[in-house]
């Protein structure tokens, strides 16, 4: 038994929204996440970089779980406006800021952290608080 | 303007729970996440590996946002039972399974994906659906 087992990273973060199309369009077109799974129905997976995935669920659509040949995906559901953050490069802060404004996404807030990291905050169409953060936010990042 | 800007990964995923102590204890003691920020109050940060962070909020505690010298952290809030996933090594699946059972965490489900990846599903004390997934789940992982 290995007591020192550690997970390698956050792999997936999930949103549960009414207007799935609008939310997918935001992450795809404004943040540039490629859609890698799903069809805009019950669940859609978007590539957030670094082998991590943003899941967009239709609210209530997964409240019963899903049985398939590979096993049973347990039920889940949720409500926002939640928070999620994505890593960006230290030298990409201004580029992201300009790109988001150019794409019509208002910057809700800018934060400078004690360790020197900086964060941009925007809202997705469902009202979730989306942060883009450079290194220097956490002791681990 | 760099149209090819991409985020590097999911950096933070957030939970909003009533019993903050129980949820922090679960991720710290059962999944082995070091607590890296917070005091069990409004917000606690836990190290999920790979320079990513699990945030545990007291439900309602961040609904007004936070103003500090570095700027304004916008409001957020949420409800579960949501879903979150963490990456584990392909050769760690059985170790995790044994370790969780040894620590008194029931395995709710096991899934084998088309690409060959495998997932373990457990519940945290707030009812959130926690997945530990090996590579072979997504086209990117």
Hey, is A138 helix, strand or coil?
coil
For tokens 């347990």, name the residue.
A74
Measured between alpha carbons, how far is B75 from A87 in angstroms, rounded to an integer? 20
Quote the pLDDT of residue B3.
77
Quote the pLDDT of residue A42.
87
Whether residues B99 and A32 touch (CB distance < 8 A) is answered with no
Considering the entire predicted model, what is its pTM?
Answer: 0.97
Angle at A41 between CA A40 and CA A47, to 5 degrees: 45
pLDDT band, very low/low/confident/very high, at A3 (cuts 50, 70, 90): confident
Partners of A73 on chain B (C-beta within 8 Å) are 109, 111, 121
Task: Indicate the CATH number for domain A12-133.
Answer: 3.10.180.10
Measured between alpha carbons, how far is B9 from B50 in angstroms, rounded to an integer? 10
Q: What is the pLDDT of residues A97-114, one digit of tens each?
A: 999 999 999 999 999 999
Q: Is B128 on the interface with A (CB under 8 A)?
A: yes
Quote the pLDDT of residue A40.
67
Query: Mind telling me how many Å the CA of B69 is from chain A's nearest CA?
Result: 8
By C-alpha distance, which of A64, A7, A112 is closest to B132?
A7
Searching chain B, which residue's CA lies closest to the CA of residue A56? Answer: B83
Contact A38, A93 (CB under 8 A): no
Peptide bond into A139 cis (omega under 30): no
* Structure token digits, residue B57: 């909020």
Q: What is the pLDDT of residues A19-50, one digit of tens each?
A: 999 999 999 999 999 999 997 678 999 999 99
Quote the pLDDT of residue A91.
97
Whether residues B78 and A78 touch (CB distance < 8 A) is answered with yes
Assign 3-class secondary structure to A28-64. Answer: HHHCCCCEEEECCCCEEEEEEECCEEEEEEECCCCCC
Whether residues B9 and A52 touch (CB distance < 8 A) is answered with yes
pLDDT in tens, chain B (141 residues): 577 899 999 999 999 999 999 999 999 999 999 999 997 678 999 999 999 999 999 999 999 999 999 999 999 999 999 999 999 999 999 999 999 999 999 999 999 999 999 999 999 999 999 999 999 999 999
Phi then psi dihedrals of residue B24, to 5 deg? -60, -45
pLDDT band, very low/low/confident/very high, at A63 (cuts 50, 70, 90): very high
Q: What is the CA radius of gyration of chain A?
A: 17
Quote the pLDDT of residue B1.
58
Domain boundaries defined on chain B: 12-133
């Amino acid at each position: 038994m290995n007591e020192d087992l550690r997970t390698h990273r956050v792999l997936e973060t999930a949103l549960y929204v009414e207007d799935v199309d609008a939310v997918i369009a935001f992450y795809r077109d404004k943040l540039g996440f490629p859609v890698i799974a799903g069809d805009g129905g019950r669940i859609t997976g978007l590539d957030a970089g670094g082998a991590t995935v943003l899941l967009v669920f239709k609210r209530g659509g997964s409240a019963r779980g899903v049985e398939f040949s590979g096993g049973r995906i347990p039920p889940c559901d949720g409500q926002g406006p939640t928070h999620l953050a994505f890593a960006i490069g230290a030298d990409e802060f201004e580029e992201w800021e300009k790109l988001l404004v150019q794409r019509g996404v208002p910057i809700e807030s800018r934060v400078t952290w004690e360790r020197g990291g900086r964060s941009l905050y925007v809202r997705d169409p469902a009202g979730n608080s989306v942060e883009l953060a450079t290194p220097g936010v956490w002791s681990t990042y």
